[in-house]
């Protein structure tokens, strides 16, 4: 069920019987010369909508702008400050609890959001308001990602390229895939910016002139379909697990 498509009287039965919501999140930021700036939020929304369709759980509208200041040197990247993002996400989640939701899955497709969503979830749990957890699609299927790509890249690489080739192929600049590979770097390790155990980089451009990593020419829509199906299965299983838990069992343990 997609919340924004429903009239309010038709949502009453959902909130009477269910207490779980999916909140898709991504970013609007550079993804190299070949992918749209919408890459992350397109992936997050597609996965959340798929899981909602398969389970009947509620999917909210997508949060399209996240914590992306580390991509700010590239044209068009949008971002909010981390503190503003955390405050917004906590407020939005508390809004859902006003309707009876007490467990939330942040369906996230942007690495820059992870630590902040974890902090928000910890605050809400400590306050015993809601149990909110962050889920990252590629981290749910790491073996498949490694099997499909020799150089999967942490950003704008073949795994994201394959997903967009599957979901929104008209948005991929196929004629720029070799450029993306040849003007980027294979990996963060290859960038040589980890010095004596210290991550000396702060921004994406510190590692890669074009902002992306890996071999984008290794991406196909068929591989994207495999990734999407496998990640969707993981998200559905997470929904089913979380829905089965007693809320009291999700709250912090008592002091020893």
Residue 251 within a domain: no
Residue 114 within a domain: yes
Residue 248 within a domain: no
Residue 245 within a domain: no
What the block records as the tokens of 75 is 């044209």
What the block records as the tokens of 178 is 């070799």
Per the structure, the complete domain to which residue 218 belongs is given by 3-240
Task: Determine the distance from the C-alpha atom of residue 84 to the mean position of all C-alpha atoms in its chain, rounded to a whole number.
Answer: 18
Per-residue pLDDT tens, the chain, 256 aa: give them. 999 999 999 999 999 999 999 999 999 999 999 999 999 999 999 999 999 999 999 999 999 999 999 999 999 999 999 999 999 999 999 999 999 999 999 999 999 999 999 999 999 999 999 999 999 999 999 999 999 999 888 899 999 999 999 999 999 999 999 999 999 999 888 899 999 999 999 999 999 999 999 999 999 999 999 999 999 999 999 999 999 999 999 999 999 9
Residue 204 within a domain: yes
d(CA 66, CA 81): 8
Residue 223 within a domain: yes
SS3 (DSSP) at 213: strand
CATH no. for residue 215?
Answer: 3.40.50.10310
When divided into structural domains, the chain yields a total of: 1
Where are the alpha helices (H) located in 56-141, listed in sequence order?
82-97, 114-126
Half-sphere exposure of 158 (CA within 13 A, CB side): 23
d(CA 252, CA 183): 48
Residue 254 within a domain: no
Residue 51 within a domain: yes
d(CA 59, CA 44): 11
Q: By CB neighbour count within 10 A (0-12 exposed, 13-18 middle, 19+ buried), where does 107 fall?
A: buried
Question: In Å, how far are 17, 132, 196, 210, 253 from 248, measured between CA atoms?
Answer: 18, 14, 45, 48, 10
Chain segment 21-56, per-residue pLDDT in tens: 999 999 999 999 999 999 999 999 999 999 999 999
């Amino acid at each position: 069920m997609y919340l924004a498509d429903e009239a309010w009287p038709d949502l009453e039965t959902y909130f009477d019987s269910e207490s779980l919501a999916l909140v898709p999140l991504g970013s609007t930021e550079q993804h190299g010369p070949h992918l749209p700036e919408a890459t992350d939020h397109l992936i997050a929304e597609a996965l959340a909508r798929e899981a909602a369709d398969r389970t009947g759980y509620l999917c909210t509208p997508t949060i399209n702008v996240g914590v992306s200041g580390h991509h700010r040197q590239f044209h068009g990247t949008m971002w909010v400050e981390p503190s503003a993002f955390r405050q917004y996400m906590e407020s939005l989640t508390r809004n859902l609890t006003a309707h009876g939701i007490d467990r939330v899955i942040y369906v996230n497709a942007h690495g820059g959001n992870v630590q902040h969503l974890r902090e928000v979830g910890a605050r809400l749990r400590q306050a015993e308001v809601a149990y909110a957890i962050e889920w990252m699609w590629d981290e749910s299927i790491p073996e498949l990602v490694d099997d499909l790509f020799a150089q999967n890249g942490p950003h704008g690489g073949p795994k994201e390229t394959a997903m967009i080739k599957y979901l929104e192929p008209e948005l991929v600049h196929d004629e720029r895939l070799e450029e993306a590979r040849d003007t980027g770097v294979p990996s963060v390790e290859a960038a040589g910016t980890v010095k004596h155990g210290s991550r000396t980089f702060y921004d994406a451009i510190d590692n890669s002139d074009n902002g992306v990593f890996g071999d984008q020419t290794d991406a196909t829509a068929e591989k994207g379909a495999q990734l999407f199906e496998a990640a969707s299965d993981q998200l559905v299983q997470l929904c089913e697990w979380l829905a089965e838990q007693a809320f009291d069992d999700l709250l912090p343990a008592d002091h020893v």
